[in-house]
Amino acid sequence: MTASLRSKGPRCQNSGISPLIAKILANEDYYGDGPPTWLNARSSKHAKEARKSSIKRLRHFASQFPETKALAKTLARCKPRRRCMSGSCPECRRAFQRWFVAQVVDLAGNADPDDLNSASIIFQKHRTAGDQLNTLAITGMKRSISEIIKNTDDLGWMAGGIDLSLNDDTQKNQGIFWQPQLYAICCADVSNLSKVLRERFKSTEATHRPVQIKSCDGTKAAVSYAFKTEFVRRIAYWGKSASSQNPRESWHTRKVSLRAVEHVQAMLWMHKIGLAGRLFLRGVRMTRNGDGVGLAKIKKLE
């Protein structure tokens, strides 16, 4: 998809946004309902309604979180050709996700299907108390992953995003905490990638499978999961599996919406981190592509 810019380009409300992110979000096509689209993809109408709902919620919690006043004003001013470009804005998050999907699907289309995988990595050491989300920084997480995989044999590229879940493990006597993780699409030899990641991210009592690597079909729906627009609360509970032919009791997880105050905390964090802050790229980089921005593979030195 190529951006169509008029003689007077769209204005960016956030002077701290990176030029490439601003250029992506200057393309109003990403805010519409044309391609790329996929099953259960959020519509432009839904995103707009979510932005308005978020503004009301931010204003409601202004006495508890004073910084919500400024963020509510930022989201309220978001409109066509004058986008707020905040990482907490439902419309801007959706637009950026659609750009991400379009670019990664193109990369996946040129990859060997046998080497296309999804990788999920849970950062156990970075779990954060429920009321301390504002202290969570992710630069170190992204840097550590880059260092771990930089010498991995046959790693072509990796593209994904850092997301959060609020894990309610009170039934496990582990409390409630924010858990960051990386979910990415990658073109790599799965055995080599799996080995280097599992050597660094060990299984623990709290997290039995911190690393999960699975084959990916490269569809838009699969790729969209690598840069989520919404976070959830995961509630651990002990019970029987309803889908198993021989159900036995074990730990399960139920996903529910964040509570209002948790949603506000998440919005403040997303605004602070920004869209670029959540993005993780290895072996590819953002680059100007005609009137828009694309993802280009980085040529390796022989």
Residue 268 inside a domain? The answer is yes
Between 103-107, 184-188, 248-252, the lowest mean confidence (pLDDT) is in 248-252
Q: DSSP letters along 194-216, please?
A: HHHHHHHS---SS-S-SEEEEE-
Q: What's the pLDDT score for residue 249?
A: 82
Question: Is residue 117 a part of any domain in this protein?
Answer: yes
Q: What pLDDT, on the 0 to 100 scale, is given for residue 5? A: 35
Residue 6 tokens, joined: 């008029």
Domain extent, residue 27, equals 19-297
Residue 138 within any structural domain of the chain: yes
288 vs 285: CA distance, rounded Å: 10
Mean pLDDT of 46-50: 98
Report the percent of the chain where pLDDT is more than 70: 92
268-282, pLDDT tens digit by residue? 999 999 999 999 999
For the chain, the helix, strand and coil percentages under 3-state DSSP, each to the nearest 5: 40, 25, 35
195 phi and psi angles, rounded to 5 deg = -65, -50
Strand ranges (DSSP E) for 176-283?
Answer: 176-188, 211-215, 232-240, 249-256, 279-282
Give the pLDDT band (50/70/90) at residue 243: low
pTM: 0.90
10 occurs within a structural domain: no
281 neighbors 143 (Cβ within 8 angstroms):
no
Give CA–CA dist 117/212, Å, rounded.
10
Query: Residue 228 and residue 237: Cα distance in Å, rounded?
Result: 24
Instruction: With CA atoms as reference, report the closest residue to 275 among 97, 146, 101, 54.
Output: 97
**Relative orientation angle of helices 44-60 and 260-278, to the nearest 10 degrees:** 120
Q: Is 297 helix (H, G, I), strand (E, B) or coil?
A: strand
Residue in the block written with tokens 């990788």: 119
Average pLDDT over residues 21-49: 97
Give the mean pLDDT of 222-242: 91
The reported pLDDT for the residue numbered 58 is 98
């840069």: which residue's tokens?
Answer: 227
- Per-residue pLDDT band at 152 (split at 50, 70, 90): confident
- Given pLDDT bands bounded at 50, 70 and 90, which one contains residue 252? confident
If pLDDT is split at 50, 70 and 90, which confidence band does 1 have? Answer: very low
pLDDT exceeds cutoff 80 at 63: yes
CA distance 55 to 36: 27
Mean pLDDT of 125-137: 95
* Averaged pLDDT of the chain: 91
pLDDT category at 75 given cuts 50, 70, 90 is very high
The average pLDDT across 258-271 equals 98
- Of 199, 222, 196, give the one whose Cα is nearest residue 111: 222
- The answer to whether residues 243 and 250 touch, using CB atoms and an 8 Å cutoff, is no
Q: Which two tokens stand for residue 229?
A: 């627009």
Q: Is the pLDDT of residue 99 over 60?
A: yes
Share of the chain above pLDDT 90, in %: 79
| pLDDT at residue 29 is higher than 60 | yes
On whether residue 144 sits in a domain, the answer given is: yes
- Asked whether residue 231 is domain-assigned, the answer is yes
Position 131 in a domain? yes
What is the mean predicted confidence (pLDDT) over 16-25?
Answer: 92
> Does pLDDT of 265 surpass 50?
yes
Q: Determine, yes or no, domain membership for 5.
A: no
Q: How much is the pLDDT for 206?
A: 76
The tally of domains found in the chain comes to 1
What pLDDT is attached to residue 244?
60
